[in-house]
Amino acid sequence: MQHIQVAIQNFLKKSGLNSGVEQQEALKIWGKTVGNKISKNTEPESVKNGVLVIKTINSVWKQELQIQKTEIIKKLNKRLKKNIIKEIRFK
């Protein structure tokens, strides 16, 4: 089984698809990274070219998260073990 995983990883790197796969991981770890309270009031929608789009339940949450944006980006990238997320857009 290990051989298939290595072959897939090599293919993704050679084809340039690796960064897209790595970015998608940010969607999966959003809830664990920001915690339960924020997670209940937001929904990760998409990520492309290092820009993560997060839907908030209202403008109050949007404003609050805008203030915390830099710290959230740091936390996400620390969990991803790479500087993948460059920007977060809240809507």
Domain locations in the chain as residue ranges: 18-90
37: enclosing H helix or E strand: helix 36-40
Q: What are the pLDDT digits (tens) for 13-34?
A: 665 555 556 777 888 999 999 9
For residues 26 and 91, give the distance between their C-alpha atoms in angstroms, rounded to a whole number. 17
Total count of residues recorded for the chain = 91
Look up the pTM and report it: 0.77
CATH number of 18-90: 3.30.300.180
* Structure letter (DSSP) for residue 86: -
Q: What are the pLDDT digits (tens) for 5-18?
A: 666 666 556 655 55
